[in-house]
């Protein structure tokens, strides 16, 4: 990995960095000139009892400084400095390592990776497990081999993560996940991503797939979509109730299934269908439909009180489909818990 004017390579628990602007010159220890470290020389970083997983460059703290994130199987480190001596002293900034080295990515200096707890985590000012209550169960169900094969890439303000034959996408702007399921002919989306001006996905079968711009219809059929909102609570002490869910979207064929996912795992998620056809819902003449969901009997859907909930939306939609707005009728109940005698 190129970091500033140096080349970083690693094996086991050791990182080797080259001399400045000389990527072919390495040393197993620091170079000294007249008893002082050569500030442009090569050097090594040893992580005792840890295994290096990945190294990615980030913006330096000041002009002329090299900076990088270094992931091990036990933590995340930041390595930065203007000379070789400083580069041999990385700082541990997170106690969460990774077993999925290819999932590591950087967005605006923010680290993103699948950690050793099988959760997607970001690190800027705080550790944020962005997969919690969203795709947590998917990652926890992955085998060691599947974890090792997961790959991540940053493109267009989104983090793309391959999990088996599916791709999960985290949008940094709207802070939500969506999911793409691979067509049958592309059965293994786990070989790698190339994220430059366009996003390409390479498969283990040797195929190269280009990520289409909005409005492209592929395979002569509608495209399956799925997204889940963040978890909503009222401090976890006051129960909440999600009533009707209203969506404003572009009209089209098919429908969307809306589910309320509650914190109580024993509860079956309540679901309802929302039609996208302008003939079966209110429409303002501008190819925009807005309506509330309803159950099979035409009644507004809902669920019993719970401590937290999120909204799950799935369906098959045509090219150019957009969800413009979503509202949820939320009611709170009385405080939970029992008085102490």
DSSP notation for 78-117: EEEESSHHHHT--EEEES---S-GGG-EEETTEEEEE-TT
Percent of the chain with pLDDT over 70: 77
Report the pLDDT value the prediction gives residue 290, as an integer from 0 to 100. Answer: 77
Classify 237 as helix, strand or coil.
coil
Lowest mean pLDDT among 148-152, 211-215, 255-259: 211-215
**pLDDT at residue 304 is higher than 80:** no
Tokens 């080349």 map to which residue?
7
The string of pLDDT tens digits covering residues 110-136 is 999 999 999 999 987 667 788 876 788
Tokens 């719970």 map to which residue?
306
Comparing 139 with 205, the larger pLDDT belongs to 139
Q: How confident is the model at residue 326 (pLDDT cuts 50, 70, 90)?
A: confident
Q: How confident is the model at residue 302 (pLDDT cuts 50, 70, 90)?
A: low
Give the best-scoring range by mean pLDDT among 91-100, 129-138, 162-171, 318-327.
Answer: 91-100
Rounded to whole angstroms, the Cα distance separating 90 from 96 reads: 16
Classify 236 as helix, strand or coil.
coil
Report the pLDDT value the prediction gives residue 45, as an integer from 0 to 100. Answer: 95
Comparing 292 with 63, the larger pLDDT belongs to 292
**pLDDT at residue 47 is higher than 90:** yes
Report the pLDDT value the prediction gives residue 9, as an integer from 0 to 100. Answer: 96
Query: How many Å separate Cα 312 from the centre of its chain?
Result: 17
Give the best-scoring range by mean pLDDT among 36-40, 83-87, 88-92.
Answer: 88-92
Rounded to whole angstroms, the Cα distance separating 273 from 294 reads: 6
Tokens 């930041």 map to which residue?
78
DSSP calls for 130-151: TTTTTTHHHHHT--HHHHHH-E
Spatial neighbors of 231 by CB under 8 A, at least 6 apart, are 133, 263, 308, 309, 310
Single out the residue of 271, 264, 268 nearest to residue 240, CA to CA. Answer: 264
- What is the C-alpha radius of gyration for the chain, rounded to an integer number of angstroms? 24
Percent of the chain with pLDDT over 90: 23
Tally of CB atoms within 10 A around 116: 19
**pLDDT at residue 155 is higher than 50:** yes
Q: What average pLDDT does the segment 9-32 reach?
A: 91
Q: How confident is the model at residue 187 (pLDDT cuts 50, 70, 90)?
A: very low
Report the pLDDT value the prediction gives residue 235, as an integer from 0 to 100. Answer: 81
Comparing 8 with 310, the larger pLDDT belongs to 8
Lowest mean pLDDT among 87-101, 230-244, 297-311: 297-311
Q: What average pLDDT does the segment 303-308 reach?
A: 77
Report the pLDDT value the prediction gives residue 276, as an integer from 0 to 100. Answer: 73
pTM across the whole model: 0.65
Specify whether the CB–CB gap between 222 and 317 falls below 8 A. Answer: yes
């Amino acid at each position: 990995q190129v970091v500033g004017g140096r080349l970083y390579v690693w094996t086991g628990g050791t990182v080797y960095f080259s001399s400045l602007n000389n990527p072919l010159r390495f040393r197993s220890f620091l170079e000294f000139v007249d008893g002082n470290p050569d500030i442009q020389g090569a050097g090594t970083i040893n992580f005792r009892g840890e295994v290096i997983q990945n190294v990615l460059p980030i913006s330096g703290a000041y002009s002329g400084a090299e900076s990088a994130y270094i992931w091990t199987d036990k933590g995340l480190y930041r390595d930065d400095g203007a000379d070789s001596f400083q580069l041999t002293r990385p700082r541990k900034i997170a106690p969460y390592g990774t077993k999925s080295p290819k999932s590591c990515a950087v967005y605006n200096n923010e680290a993103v990776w699948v950690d050793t707890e099988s959760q997607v985590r970001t690190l800027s000012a705080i550790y944020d497990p962005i997969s919690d209550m969203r795709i947590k169960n998917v990652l926890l169900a992955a085998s060691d081999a599947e974890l090792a094969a997961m790959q991540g890439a940053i493109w267009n303000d989104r983090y793309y993560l391959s999990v088996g034959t599916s791709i999960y996408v985290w949008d940094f702007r709207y802070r939500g996940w969506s999911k793409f399921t691979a067509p049958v002919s592309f059965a293994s989306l786990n070989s790698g991503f190339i994220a430059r001006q366009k996003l390409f996905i390479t498969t283990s079968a040797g195929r190269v797939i280009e990520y289409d711009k909005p409005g492209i219809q592929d395979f002569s059929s509608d495209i399956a979509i799925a997204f889940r909102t963040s978890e909503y609570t009222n401090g976890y002490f006051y129960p909440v109730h999600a009533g009707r869910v209203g969506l404003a979207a572009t009209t089209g064929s098919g429908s969307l299934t809306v589910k309320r996912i509650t914190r109580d795992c024993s509860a079956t998620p309540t679901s309802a269908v929302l039609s996208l056809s302008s003939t079966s819902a209110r429409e303002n003449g501008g190819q925009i439909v807005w309506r509330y969901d309803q159950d099979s009997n035409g009644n507004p859907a809902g669920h019993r009180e719970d401590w937290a909930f999120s909204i799950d939306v799935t369906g098959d939609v045509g090219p150019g489909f957009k969800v413009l707005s979503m509202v949820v009728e939320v009611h709170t109940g009385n405080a939970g818990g029992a008085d102490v005698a």
